Structure 1
Amino acid sequence: MRRQTATSGINPAGSSRALRLDPLSLPLSFHAHDTRADGGVRRIELHRERVVLHRAVKGMRMAINVRVSDFLGVALRGLDDDAQMLVLAHRDPSLNIPLCVSSDDEEIASAWQMWSDIFALPLLTEDDHREPAARRRRHNAIRARRPKFLVRRRLGNLGNTETVHRDEREIIARD
């Protein structure tokens, strides 16, 4: 695993260098800004089939392994100034992966198409905002079972039944 650039996505103060990852040099590893992580930084390993996010939160280190197919697509987002950013968009916004930041429209368009082709994901724009999926209720498997006391009950023996006919009434006698 190698780093793409010396700054690897974290730009020092005064740097005019923008984040640009080469989609043709996968797998690669870089650092990205994460407000919830210790130190405000997380390390990202980007492969063709999966993404691994390494970060520490309150001293607990974790690695999150996400399949590329679980991402929604490659999204183009506008920044405060005239620059635009490409993001590997996930349903959970904390799992979004920054791919490229540029103010050149031609460069961002070609990178957008390349990342989409490499990951086989759709192109998304800012208009394609999707809300996080609502939690679905799980089927309660226990509810469908018979109660425990009914499972223990046994049926009586119906093999020794006799039918006795007296005066048009049926009487069943059991031993």
Structure 2
Amino acid sequence: MRRQTATGGSHSAGSGRALRLDPLSLPVSYSAHDTRADGGIRQIELHRERVVLRRAVSGMRMALNLRVSDFLGIGVREIDDTQVMLVLVHRDPSLTIPLCVSDDQNEIVAAWAMWSETFALPQLQDTRREATPRRRRRNAIRSRRPRFLMRRRVGYQLNPTSIHRGEREIIARN
């Protein structure tokens, strides 16, 4: 297998030059703009089953190996009035990956369909979304309570009619 850079150069995605990746010639390796990374650049490797992101944050180098099935789909974003970007959308916006940047709408539509078919992911219309909150663990309390107590109601509730406040109690003894 051979590796390929995006359009034969070492420019970053969205740097003003058009980014065009071919979904039929995977695996592809290229660099893209990343605001959180040191130097503002991250390395991306696209394979049919997985995506590898390499970047350094605060001097700590990391490589994220993600399955393609972990991504939500292929989406379209507008960069400005003329340019449109095709992206591989992830639930975490910092893991969203650019695939194609172009001025031509017909080229974007054709590439959108090809990438969607290659990765077997849906075509998404609205890709601008915030990070989803982290899911709550199903058994967060299980480690703190014994299993038989999980079936019981928590706390003891008194019958409010049996409580007499503000009254003087008279006790009669024989």
Same fold per superposition (TM over 0.5): yes
Higher share in strand: 1
Q: Which has the larger radius of gyration?
A: 1
Q: Residue 122 of structure 1 aligns with which residue?
A: 122
Contact residue 9 and residue 18 of structure 1 kept, 8 A: no
Equivalent residues in 2 for 1:24-39, closer than 5 Å = 24-39=24-39
1:19-58 CA distances to partner (integer Å, 9 max, x unpaired)? 1101111001000000111110000000001100000011
Contact residue 8 and residue 19 of structure 1 kept, 8 A: no
Alignment gaps of 5+ in structure 2: 148-174
1:7 pairs with 2:9: yes
RMSD: 2.2
Q: Residue 60 of structure 1 aligns with which residue?
A: 60
1:49 pairs with 2:49: yes
* SS of residue in 1 equivalent to 2:6: coil
Percent of pairs identical after alignment?
A: 63
1:125-164 CA distances to partner (integer Å, 9 max, x unpaired)? 12x5444332222213313326xxxxxxxxxxxxxxxxxx
Distance of 1:77 and 1:3 partners within structure 2 = 23
* SS of residue in 1 equivalent to 2:106: helix
**2:66 alignment partner AA:** V
Give the superposition deviation at 1:10. 1.7
> Cα 1:136–1:11, aligned 2, differ >3 Å: closer, same or farther?
closer
Contact residue 51 and residue 68 of structure 1 kept, 8 A: yes
Q: Residue 135 of structure 1 aligns with which residue?
A: 134
Q: Residue 95 of structure 1 aligns with which residue?
A: 95
Give the superposition deviation at 1:11. 6.8
Alignment gaps of 5+ in structure 1: 147-175
* SS of residue in 2 equivalent to 1:20: coil
Distance of 1:12 and 1:48 partners within structure 2 = 23
Contact residue 38 and residue 55 of structure 1 kept, 8 A: yes
Give the superposition deviation at 1:8. 4.0
Distance of 1:11 and 1:86 partners within structure 2 = 11
**2:77 alignment partner AA:** R
> Which segment drifts farther, 3-12 or 43-52?
3-12
1:65-85 CA distances to partner (integer Å, 9 max, x unpaired)? 111001010001112121111
Distance of 2:9 and 2:33 partners within structure 1 = 12
Distance of 2:58 and 2:21 partners within structure 1 = 29
Report the TM-score, using the length of structure 2 for normalisation.
0.75
Q: Residue 157 of structure 1 aligns with which residue?
A: none
**1:141 alignment partner AA:** R
Q: Residue 84 of structure 2 aligns with which residue?
A: 84
> Cα 1:131–1:113, aligned 2, differ >3 Å: closer, same or farther?
same
**1:125 alignment partner AA:** Q
